Homo-oligomer: A and B are copies of this chain.
């Protein structure tokens, strides 16, 4: 199960009732955060989720509205007696940003590890999750992220027999364990059928539409994408600042055939994003004009995806 919360939906600056765009993902006790603008710790508190288990933070890029909440979040995690290290993944230059953050929030009781993405595409394992980073097109280096919770194949007794796997190992292999026996190495694929469809969430803000977005959003269960402006005549402005209109996000969602599109990162001037939904849903019907705190439980097929706010 993936527990997803879009903590805020604002772009550029926090507003009294709109936090900056940030995504929180919970999976099996591990918590991952994408972007951390000013006020993200307050948004987490309002949602009632815990910041203490956040072990990985993915940063799309280094504009202040995506990173200025880090010192306060780290300080509060420290005050909550976190001692386990936190890993921050982001574009090249991440060490310099974290060094600056540590000037503002020194003396933390946990280590901050940094991972710089230096390629157009990159892939990481974070607990049970696979995180794919892909370069998007903004004014400074910026990445989108796809988060996948893979799902193993079903137990296949015939395959286990054919591979000569002793019955005593079946259960452990089925759970993903690798077993080194005296005579042989046993791996899960020896007892499992083909991998089944997992869960995928794709997130990008601060970018023009690109082919790589189409690739990583392809058939995602949930596609979270900026919709900075809703008015069709703002397209030139979006092009100039390298942002995306709601129309463009909906076209991407349709092309990638995603399950659902959540719009976010609204311009401060876009006070009522839902006013554009008639037009946007004509392009992609399953579009949500997200509000702060919007959340969903994504379940494997056969389960039911619940949504709550």
Q: List residues of chain A with CB under 8 Å of any chain B CB.
A: 12-16, 37-39, 41-42, 45-46, 62, 64-65, 67-69, 71-72, 74-76, 79, 96-97, 99-101, 103-105
Would you list 13 pairs from A and B whose C-beta atoms are within 8 A, ordered by A residue?
A: A14-B39, A16-B46, A38-B39, A38-B69, A39-B39, A62-B104, A64-B72, A65-B72, A67-B104, A68-B72, A68-B105, A97-B103, A101-B104
- Distance (whole angstroms) from the CB of A191 to the closest CB of chain B: 49
Q: Are A45 and B15 in contact (CB under 8 A)?
A: yes
Q: Are B103 and A72 in contact (CB under 8 A)?
A: no
Q: Are A64 and B68 in contact (CB under 8 A)?
A: no
Q: Are B104 and A72 in contact (CB under 8 A)?
A: no
- Distance (whole angstroms) from the CB of A106 to the closest CB of chain B: 8
Residues of B within 8 A of A37 (CB): 72
Q: Are A79 and B13 in contact (CB under 8 A)?
A: yes
Residues of B within 8 A of A79 (CB): 12-13
Contact for A68 among B14, B65, B71, B99, CB less than 8 A: B71
Residues of B within 8 A of A71 (CB): 38, 64, 68
Residues of B within 8 A of A41 (CB): 13-14, 38
| Distance A103 CA – B39 CA, assembled complex (angstroms) | 19
A98 nearest CB neighbor, chain B only: B103
| Distance A74 CA – B65 CA, assembled complex (angstroms) | 11
- Distance (whole angstroms) from the CB of A44 to the closest CB of chain B: 10
Residues of B within 8 A of A65 (CB): 72, 75
> If A79-B12, A96-B103, A103-B100 touch, does A72 touch B42 (CB 8 Å cutoff)?
no
| Distance A293 CA – B9 CA, assembled complex (angstroms) | 25
A105 nearest CB neighbor, chain B only: B64
Residues of B within 8 A of A42 (CB): 14-16, 38-39
Most chain-B Cβ atoms within 10 A of its Cβ — which of A12, A38, A41? A38
Residues of B within 8 A of A64 (CB): 71-72, 74-75, 104-105
Contact for A13 among B46, B62, B76, B101, CB less than 8 A: B76
A14 nearest CB neighbor, chain B only: B42
| Distance A200 CA – B85 CA, assembled complex (angstroms) | 47
Closest 3 CB pairs of A and B: A100-B103, A38-B72, A100-B100
Residues of B within 8 A of A99 (CB): 100, 103
A20 nearest CB neighbor, chain B only: B72
- Distance (whole angstroms) from the CB of A64 to the closest CB of chain B: 4
Residues of B within 8 A of A62 (CB): 104
Residues of B within 8 A of A74 (CB): 64
| Distance A100 CA – B103 CA, assembled complex (angstroms) | 6
Q: Are A75 and B39 in contact (CB under 8 A)?
A: no
| Distance A38 CA – B70 CA, assembled complex (angstroms) | 10
| Distance A71 CA – B41 CA, assembled complex (angstroms) | 16
Q: Are B96 and A14 in contact (CB under 8 A)?
A: no
A45 nearest CB neighbor, chain B only: B16
- Distance (whole angstroms) from the CB of A237 to the closest CB of chain B: 14
